[in-house]
Homo-oligomer: A and B are copies of this chain.
Amino acid sequence: MEGLEIILTIFILATASSFAFASDPSPLQDFCVADPEGSAPNVCKGAALVTADDFSFSGLHIRKNTSNSVGSAVTPVNVAQIPGLHTLGISMVRVDYAPNGGLNPPHTHPRASEILVVIEGTLRVGFVTSNPDNRLITKVLYPGDVFVFPEGLIHFQYNIGNTHAVAFAGLNSQNPGVITVANAVFGSNPSISAGVLAKAFKLDGKLVGNLQSNF
């Protein structure tokens, strides 16, 4: 085969098909509950001092207040809430959505894939693939429906029903992180220079300034 064909073939192999795996690594001991009195953050409590409370959290049944600009509320349950999650590679969130447009706005998790189940309500959900396709994969979900958001991709959930909506999701990191795209870009501290955002978003500079003052 000639060079170009090889490049093309490889390109097709690398994009249309694919061949990679998220291995699921294991920790190096049963668990490692961070010791709040330890001399360093990764000193773990002696096993004899660990209790069931180190592995639990309460309150995910409570409907959260969604009276905010986007109409949603995220309740995280990760290593910051459950110290026993340290080294275990898993966490959870509850999301509440106001009726008629409650939005968990476009965001990414830099360190986790997500699997979400709808408990109440009707959600339009979607994620956008990476360049160059930027394809939107989207679906309307009803109670009992499950959807997957691959690691690092921009995704959102939008309440298109006229009732409160609730979802639970699992994420494969003890600290998945959240980057709300609009806030990170237009609301960073300090601000990204207006020239950068005007060119990137094809906006005039004055409008960028207005947007930045809103965040």
Contact = CB atoms under 8 A, between A and B. Distances in A.
A161 interface: no
Contacts of A188: 128, 134-136
Contact of A152 (B105, B108, B147): B108
Nearest to A136: B188
A154 B41 CA distance: 27
A10 B136 contact: no
Nearest to A62: B144
Quick one: copies of this chain in the complex? 6
Contacts of A52: 126, 137-139, 147
A110 interface: yes
Interface string A46-82: 1110111101111111100000011100000111111
Nearest to A9: B36
Contacts of A184: 128, 130-131, 134, 154
Interface string A71-104: 1000001111111111111111010000001010
23 contacts: A1-B37, A13-B36, A17-B38, A18-B31, A18-B87, A21-B23, A22-B87, A24-B25, A26-B26, A27-B111, A29-B111, A52-B137, A52-B147, A53-B139, A77-B146, A88-B148, A101-B199, A103-B199, A109-B152, A119-B119, A124-B193, A131-B178, A168-B168
